Amino acid sequence: MDNHEQVLSRLREDILLRGLSQHTLESYTINVRIFLDYCNRPADQTQIDDIRHFLQHLLHEKKSSPGTVNAYSAAIRFLFAVTLNRTLNYLQIPRLKKRKSLPEVLSRDEVSSLIAHCSNLKHKAMLMVIYSAGLRISEAAALKIQHIDSKSMRIFVACGKGGKRRPLAYA
């Protein structure tokens, strides 16, 4: 494979053949394109040092977060291992440790105030369901009336994170 568009096309095929998500397809394609543009040479001529220099560039010059650098690293690893069918020593491309922080939790008064200040009844109901069931934004956006069982006070999340289904009880 000589030009970047051919490599990216093959990368897309490899992702689709594995049944990975649309989000993964888009993310890996963008990240690999940026990596290949940074290296400025044919993909089959890139080396492990190119990967290391690129990740250093992201960290020190672009000031990217550890999560962002790890996302690029995962895309590049996929490129090498699957699309280019090249063996890498993964110990030479370590994943960055992410800092774990506690989420900021709203107090009961803050939640009550937020809901009380919502004048639209539909929006107020949505806020209450999202908060009480602990739904993610994507889960709330995909929620349909048939996913709510008001008799047993349960919500069925059809498309949760990772495409998983999960029942939630709410009261």
The percent of residues in the chain predicted with pLDDT above 90, rounded, is 56
Per-domain residue ranges of the chain: 4-92, 108-169
Using the predicted structure, report yes or no on whether residue 77 has a pLDDT greater than 60: yes
Q: First vs last Cα of the chain: how many Å apart?
A: 57
> Collapsing DSSP states into helix, strand and coil, what is residue 97?
coil
19 versus 160: the higher-pLDDT residue is 19
Superfamily covering domain 4-92: Tyrosine recombinase, N-terminal domain (1.10.150.130)
Average confidence (pLDDT) over 101-118: 89
pTM for this model (two decimals): 0.66
In the prediction, which pLDDT does 171 show?
44
Helices 22-39 and 48-56 cross at an angle (nearest 10°) of 100
Query: 3-state DSSP call for residue 157?
Result: strand
Q: Give the pLDDT score at 51.
A: 95
| Alpha-carbon distances, residue 60 vs 66, 71, 148 (angstroms) | 11, 16, 48
pLDDT at 161 over 70: no
pLDDT higher than 80, residue 67: yes
Helix (H) or strand (E) holding 124: helix 121-133
Q: Identify the pLDDT of residue 154.
A: 83
Q: What is the pLDDT of residue 166?
A: 63
Task: Summarize the confidence of residues 18-40 as an average pLDDT.
Answer: 95
Using pLDDT thresholds of 50, 70 and 90, give the confidence band for residue 19: very high
Q: What is the DSSP letter of 104?
A: P
More confident residue, 95 or 61: 61
